[in-house]
Amino acid sequence: MHKKTPETVIVVDFGSQYSHLIARRIRELNVYSKIVSYKITPEEIKQMNAKGIILSGGPASVCVSDAPHCNNKVLFTDIPILGICYGLQLGSQILGAKIKPSKNREYGKTKCTVKDHSSLFDSIDKTISVWMSHGDQVLELPDDFQSLAYTENCPYAAIRHKKKEFYGVQFHPEVTHTPSGSQILHNFLFKICHCTGDWSMSSYIDRSIKEIQEQVGRERVICGLSGGVDSTVTAAIIYKAIGSKLACIFVDNGLLRSNESECVIETFKKNFKVDLHFVDASDRFLNRLSSVSDPEQKRKIIGHEFIDVFKEESKKLADINYLAQGTLYPDIIESISAHGGPTAKIKSHHNVGALPAELGFELVEPLKDLFKDEVREIGSELGLPDEIIWRHPFPGPGLAIRIIGEVTEDRLEILRYADEIMINEIQSAGLYKKIAQAFAVLLPVSTVGVMGDERTYENVIALRAVDTLDFMTADWVRLPHDLLAKISNRIINEVRGVNRVVYDISSKPPSTIEWE
Do residues 146 and 159 make contact, with C-beta atoms less than 8 angstroms apart? Answer: yes
**Cβ-proximal residues to 475 (8 Å cutoff; 6+ apart), any chain:** 466, 467, 468, 507, 508
Site for ligand XMP in 430-449 (CB under 6 A): 437
Cis before 510 (ω within 30): yes
By CB under 6 A, residue 345 contacts ligand XMP: no
Applying CB under 6 A, among 10, 253, 397, 423 the residue interacting with ligand XMP is: 397
Question: Nearest Cα to 509, choosing from 299, 346, 339, 293?
Answer: 346
Cβ nearer to ligand XMP, comparing 15 with 396: 396
Give least dist CB 401 to ligand XMP, A: 6
Do residues 302 and 396 make contact, with C-beta atoms less than 8 angstroms apart? Answer: yes
Residue count at the site for ligand XMP (CB under 6 A)?
Answer: 15
Q: Distance (Å, rounded) from C-alpha 15 to C-alpha 182?
A: 21
Give least dist CB 355 to ligand XMP, A: 13
Applying CB under 6 A, among 23, 352, 421, 463 the residue interacting with ligand XMP is: 352
Do residues 11 and 56 make contact, with C-beta atoms less than 8 angstroms apart? Answer: yes
Cβ nearer to ligand XMP, comparing 75 with 513: 513
Q: How many CB atoms lie within 10 A of CB 140?
A: 12
Cite the beta strand spans of 199-294 per DSSP E.
221-225, 246-252, 275-280
Instruction: Mark 214-236 as b/e (b = at least 16 C-beta within 10 Å).
Output: ebbeeebbbbbbbbbbbbbbbbb
What track of x and - describes contact with ligand XMP for positions 453 through 472 (by CB under 6 A)? ------------------x-
By CB under 6 A, residue 335 contacts ligand XMP: no
Cβ nearer to ligand XMP, comparing 104 with 512: 512
By CB under 6 A, residue 47 contacts ligand XMP: no
Range in contact with ligand XMP (rule: CB under 6 A) among 134-142, 323-331, 345-353, 355-363: 345-353
What track of x and - describes contact with ligand XMP for positions 285 through 314 (by CB under 6 A)? --------------x---------------
Applying CB under 6 A, among 159, 233, 460, 513 the residue interacting with ligand XMP is: 513
Q: How many CB atoms lie within 10 A of CB 245?
A: 17
Give least dist CB 25 to ligand XMP, A: 23
Q: Distance (Å, rounded) from C-alpha 169 to C-alpha 54?
A: 11
Q: Distance (Å, rounded) from C-alpha 400 to C-alpha 23?
A: 35
Q: Distance (Å, rounded) from C-alpha 422 to C-alpha 488?
A: 8
Q: What residues form the annotated binding site for ATP?
A: 226-232
Q: How many CB atoms lie within 10 A of CB 492?
A: 18
225: helix, strand or coil = strand
Site for ligand XMP in 366-395 (CB under 6 A): 393, 395
Which are the catalytic amino acids?
Answer: 85, 172, 174
Cβ nearer to ligand XMP, comparing 6 with 330: 330
Give least dist CB 515 to ligand XMP, A: 8
Cβ nearer to ligand XMP, comparing 122 with 331: 331
Applying CB under 6 A, among 353, 402, 464, 500 the residue interacting with ligand XMP is: 353
Cβ nearer to ligand XMP, comparing 90 with 474: 474
Q: Which residues bind ligand XMP (CB under 6 A)?
A: 299, 348, 350, 352-353, 393, 395-397, 437, 471, 508, 512-514
